[in-house]
Every structure is written in structure tokens, then in C-alpha cells.
């Protein structure tokens, strides 16, 4: 049938990128992250939301101080590093940088706004974009 739902799906491909399995330590599952992020613990590390330049974000590019930008929002992902299903190394690729493009290339279906809302530090100022 020409317009059937089966015909509208994307064609199968055998060109998928292999995924490297990452061991997640006990206590660092996504469910554990949701528990932590709703616990009331300070995950932002700042007193109030800020307007930031990309140069200011770039200063936070280490495992013990890691910020990233997704869609103009700045997140302190330091505490999230060990919870990231792809491993710390994958998230460190965007440490201190705008990770929007990589984020949407790898997992556009993830609701980052909800998952990282307690890590929101502020926003990138329009003048630095």
C-alpha cells in the first residue's frame, strides 16, 4: 500500500555506528540521577541564574568544574558526569563549550531541559553567540 504506515518509516540501514558499552557504577543509573536531582541538593553551584559569555563558560572545562551549553542554556554538569550513560569522556567532549550540535546528533529525543533543570546556571548572552 503506497501510503501505509509501514511505507512511511525510515528505510533500514546497516550503516549504524557501533555503540561502546560503558559500565555504570552502582548508584549512578538514570533513576539515581532523578533521585539526586529532586533531592533539593544544590547542583547549580551558583546563587542565582546568570547571563554568561562563551568565554566565561570555557573556564569550566574540568571534571571537577564542568559546564556546557545546550540551546543557549548553561548547565553545571559536574555532578552528572558519572551518571551519563555514555560515560564521563563523552560529556567531557563538550566541557566548557556549546554542546548543542553534538547533543542533537547523538540523542535528540532526550528531554535535557527536564533532566538537567536543577543544574541550570544561566544563559549565554546573545552578544557572545
Q: Contact at 8 Å (CB) between 29 and 36? A: no
Q: Contact at 8 Å (CB) between 69 and 41? A: no
- List the chain pLDDT tens, one digit each, 129 residues: 455 444 444 455 556 566 666 778 899 999 999 999 999 999 999 999 999 999 999 999 999 999 999 999 999 999 999 999 888 999 999 999 999 999 999 989 999 999 999 999 999 997 765
Question: What pLDDT, on the 0 to 100 scale, is given for residue 4?
Answer: 47
Tell me how far apart the alpha carbons of residues 129 and 121 are, in angstroms, rounded to a whole number.
17
The secondary structure of 40-91 as a DSSP string is T---S-SSS-EEE-HHHHHT-EETTEEEEEETTEEEE-TTTGGG-TT-HHHH
Question: What pLDDT, on the 0 to 100 scale, is given for residue 126?
Answer: 76
Question: What pLDDT, on the 0 to 100 scale, is given for residue 3?
Answer: 52
Amino acid at each position: 500500500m503506497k501510503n501505509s504506515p509501514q511505507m512511511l518509516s525510515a528505510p533500514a540501514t546497516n550503516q549504524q555506528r557501533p555503540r561502546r558499552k560503558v559500565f555504570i557504577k552502582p548508584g549512578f543509573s538514570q533513576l539515581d540521577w532523578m533521585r539526586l536531582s529532586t533531592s533539593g541538593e544544590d547542583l547549580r553551584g551558583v546563587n542565582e541564574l546568570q547571563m554568561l559569555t562563551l568565554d566565561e563558560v570555557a573556564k569550566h572545562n574540568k571534571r571537577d568544574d564542568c559546564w556546557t551549553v545546550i540551546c543557549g542554556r548553561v548547565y553545571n554538569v559536574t555532578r552528572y558526569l558519572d551518571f551519563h550513560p555514555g560515560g564521563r569522556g563523552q560529556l567531557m567532549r563538550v566541557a566548557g563549550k556549546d554542546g548543542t550540535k553534538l547533543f542533537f546528533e547523538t540523542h535528540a529525543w532526550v528531554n535535557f531541559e527536564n533532566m538537567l533543570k536543577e543544574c541550570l546556571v544561566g544563559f549565554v548572552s546573545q552578544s557572545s553567540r
